[in-house]
Amino acid sequence: MLAWLPYVGDAVWILVMASIASTSRAALARIPADVRTPLPFSPSVTARPRGSRNAAFAVAIGAPLLVGLALLIFGRLAGTPEKAVLVFLVRLAVAPLFALAHLAWLRGVLRTLEDEGALRP
């Protein structure tokens, strides 16, 4: 009866990962390869540590991907329908949060680099 839940959860994560990938690709086109980029998911909001452009975007794309895969596995291994629904709801709640966090980080990176004059037009 609840066999459709994993498919809906997968579709939501696919949409979120597609939006993260497309916005990252557009941002990568504007950021030169030698620019040190603020890293995502750092505890300090004002003074974020910086790393290479590729490392920063790998973390920004890899973290939601790994969390999504972990939730996918937990959903598949849920023994009861109640657990399956719970994991499904967690997936639906967490996916847009990752998308919003990524967009907020990306906006901050682009604003910071634009203020420094490090972006391509």
pLDDT at 11: 94
Q: Over the stretch 50-95, which tens digit does the pLDDT of each residue have?
A: 889 999 999 999 999 999 999 999 988 988 889 989 999 999 999 9
| Mean pLDDT across the chain | 89
Predicted confidence band of residue 45 (pLDDT cuts 50, 70, 90): low
Axis crossing angle, helix 5-30 with helix 53-76, rounded to the nearest 10: 180
What's the CA gap between 5 and 13, in Å, rounded?
Answer: 12
Average pLDDT over residues 18-31: 95
pTM, whole model, 2 decimals? 0.86
Residue 34 lies in a domain: yes
Residue 14 lies in a domain: yes
What's the CA gap between 12 and 10, in Å, rounded?
Answer: 5
Lookup result for tokens 């629904």: 85
Average pLDDT over residues 85-108: 93
pLDDT at 32: 93
Predicted confidence band of residue 118 (pLDDT cuts 50, 70, 90): confident
Residue 54 lies in a domain: yes
Average pLDDT over residues 31-55: 82
pLDDT at 75: 87
Residue 75 lies in a domain: yes
Structural domain count, the chain: 1
Residue 82 lies in a domain: yes
For residue 100, what are the domain limits? 5-41+49-116
Residue 121 lies in a domain: no
Residue 15 lies in a domain: yes
